[in-house]
Structure 1
Amino acid sequence: MTEASLILNREGHAGTILMNRPKALNALDIGMIRNFASAIAQWKDDAAVKLVLLEGAGGRAFCAGGDVRAVRAAAVAGDRPPVEAFFTEEYAVNEGIALFPKPWVSLIDGVCMGGGIGLAIHNGPRVVSEHALLAMPETAIALFPDVGTSHILPRLPGSIGTWLALTGARLTGADCVHAGLATHYVLREHFPALRAALVESGDASVVERFAAPLPEASFAPHRAALDRCFGQDSVLGIIGALQAEGTEWAAAQVKILRRMSPTSLSVSLELLRRGAGMNLRQCLDEELKLTRSVVHDHPDFCEGVRSVLVDKDGAPNWAPASLEAVDRAAVLGLFR
């Protein structure tokens, strides 16, 4: 008998959720999303549930994101309803977590990307181990920062959110706390004891007892340049500022940006700038509208997922192929 992809339990004072697709790095499918919605509805008014504890199975990943290969397959087939259902219901879960009236404790050990961040970022505590790896890699597949991160990323310190969104930079361990994506850094060896304390007490503040001292952020030496460059008003402006820095780090950022979908970079920057002035509900609405145009009406999404996740050739054919060829009117047209 096949094990459930999302395992819900009541343990002590906690409602526990285990994402259980380890071979797929616990990537979210529509069934998991619907079970998340059920858990939220079931536990939000249950006085016996003092907190929710969210984990990923398998030891390699918390949640690698949404199942975008399935989204691409539907888009290629011209089948809009499954795509609409996936994003509509996923974003409703993100909002449900944000509005959940109790602590939603995420124990992040391993890979956590895209949709996985959306399951953790809107409530807390958000606990990372030294083996955590967080990223928003959407521009590589020509999507954009979604699951409510268009609200979160502009509110991270300085220009960190823009840097993460455009480059897909991967943050490990304590760096996630420095960037504002996580709240606590706890060594992997202490996760079992932390979990037991949370279940027994129903008190999220016990996380403080297990938190390890934070080492300096690995990006600290580049922080001033990061804020200067990624604070520019356009992607080409960001690239120009990076080139003016004349450092190895800045040159590496330019190389990364030049690999991403030019349209996706432009859409993502516009979305973050808009998100800075909107609440979470407005951001989720804007993201949902964008999924319809970006997934179905522009070729880059299907091409990006093909390149990264289907054929895995790392050789996408973007349209247009360069940032210089991106038409701003066309970008704004996707925000309809």
Structure 2
Amino acid sequence: MSQPAYAEASDPHVATRVSNGIGFIELDRPQALNALTTGMVRAMHAALDTWRENPEVLAVIVLSRHPRAFCAGGDVRFLYDAHRDGDQHAIDTFFIDEYRLDHAIFTYPKPYIAFLNGIVMGGGMGISQGAHRTAGLRVVGGTTRMAMPETRIGLFPDVGMGWFLARTRGAVGRYLAVTGETIEAADALYVSLADVWLDEAAWPALIDALQSEPFETGADIVARIRREAEANSGGAPAPDASALANARAWIDRHFAQPDVPRILASLEAAQHEADGAAADWAARTIGVLRERSPLSMAVSLDVVARADGSMAECLRRDLDLTRSSFAQGDVIEGIRARLVDKDNRPQWRIERIEDVRAEDVERMFESPWSAAQHPLRDLVG
């Protein structure tokens, strides 16, 4: 099956244009912190398809028009409503289209550059992290707040993020997947989820300069941004002094454990046996784990553990997991408790971390499609 064409797709919340050899994608849905809809996903993919073979487009830049967020993720309230209405087709369509876009970015033949201000979560990570594979850049600044907070709503780190988390330092990827904790720019640089830091006050002038200075190649555009970051490095945070760096020994000790119950047991031992900061950190982390979906945390740990293959394989697995998460997981209850009723009292299907069985996790990874019928079967790489 060939990849669907989105050449005619457009959306009022995505502005696309070409200026000075650069294809610009600007997200403009501020009331929802640029949360992605199916229409936005298709409009972005349409632009990338149009520019892919156009020799006059040397590189692509994606950014937000608003200071609060680059992209807060997918529109989970829409997914909740679709499930309530029994519209499985709408849910499948959103995830299929989103993952196709993420794969298109990951395999894009030209530098893809993401300016990541404010909130960058869930689907926002999906439309930015692939820049690293295109010889592009992930630019962060003082307001950047990154996370894959899915276990808080009973989901898992999808959009291919298992692939990236599996390739971070030590057990940090496992920690971020399970806890869904938010990290800042220095943390992102420390674990290679960002490439350069640039004071956000300098972003507008740089964007203007990129539209007027002469460039011969996409690499020239990337180099210009790197030079700007180096020239303004005086206020840059030190990755090796980041919160993740400071907690690295504790993260590696506890989150290298093979499953979530043993992670919890390791943390509980440290809480009682360690002193000072180590015990405090363990106690705080235990509190986080006790708030998350036990089943989702177990699935999320496996998502990272199984991500040693290609991005295409990860995205196919992610799509399988979206089906099981809605059918037999905790995502509907998590969205209800966190975002709809906002009572923050989710009733998880499996209440205790210690009660999640290996077969419960394995069942979540079963695909509803055969390999020959999988909607993402044509993705390669």
TM above 0.5, one fold? Answer: yes
1:162 aligns with 2:174: yes
Report Cα offsets for 1:152-185 as digits up to 9, x if no partner.
1110111111111111111112221112111111
1:301 aligns with 2:331: yes
Question: What code does the residue aligned with 1:141 have?
Answer: I
Matched residue, 1:241? 266
**Alpha-carbon distance in 1 for matches of 2:38, 2:77:** 12
Question: What code does the residue aligned with 1:302 have?
Answer: I
The one of 258, 262, 265 equivalent to 2:290 is 258
1:286 aligns with 2:303: no
The one of 53, 67, 70 equivalent to 1:45 is 53
Q: Highest CA radius of gyration, 1 or 2?
A: 2
Shift in Å at residue 75 of structure 1?
1.4
Matched residue, 2:364? 334
Shift in Å at residue 296 of structure 1?
2.3
Report Cα offsets for 1:83-104 as digits up to 9, x if no partner.
1100001000000001111111
Contact 1:294 1:334 in 2 (8 A): yes
Q: What's the C-alpha RMSD, in Å, of the aligned pairs?
A: 1.3
Shift in Å at residue 244 of structure 1?
2.4
Matched residue, 1:57? 65
Shift in Å at residue 297 of structure 1?
2.9
Shifted more, 191-200 versus 24-33: the winner is: 191-200
Matched residue, 2:35? 27
Matched residue, 2:157? 145
Report Cα offsets for 1:239-272 as digits up to 9, x if no partner.
1122222310111111101100011001111111
**Alpha-carbon distance in 1 for matches of 2:113, 2:53:** 17
Matched residue, 2:276? none
Poorly superposed stretches of 4+, deviation over 6 Å: none
Question: What code does the residue aligned with 1:155 have?
Answer: R
Matched residue, 1:273? 305
The one of 207, 213, 222 equivalent to 2:225 is 207
Question: What code does the residue aligned with 2:163 have?
Answer: H
Contact 2:270 2:282 in 1 (8 A): yes
Q: SS of the counterpart of 1:155?
A: coil
Identity of aligned residues (%): 38
Report Cα offsets for 1:92-126 as digits up to 9, x if no partner.
00000011111111011110000000000011300
**Alpha-carbon distance in 2 for matches of 1:28, 1:39:** 16
Structural mapping, 1:183-194, within 5 Å: 183-194=195-206
**Alpha-carbon distance in 2 for matches of 1:204, 1:198:** 10
**Alpha-carbon distance in 1 for matches of 2:65, 2:333:** 30
Give the gaps of 5 or more residues in structure 2: 1-10, 272-278, 367-381
Contact 2:325 2:364 in 1 (8 A): yes
Aligned length: 332
Matched residue, 1:82? 90
Q: SS of the counterpart of 1:58?
A: coil
**Alpha-carbon distance in 1 for matches of 2:193, 2:343:** 30
Give the gaps of 5 or more residues in structure 1: none
1:110 aligns with 2:108: no
Contact 2:185 2:237 in 1 (8 A): no
Q: SS of the counterpart of 2:67?
A: coil
Shift in Å at residue 197 of structure 1?
3.4
**Alpha-carbon distance in 1 for matches of 2:35, 2:15:** 14
Q: SS of the counterpart of 1:272?
A: helix
Question: What code does the residue aligned with 1:267 have?
Answer: V
TM-score of the pair, normalised by structure 1: 0.96
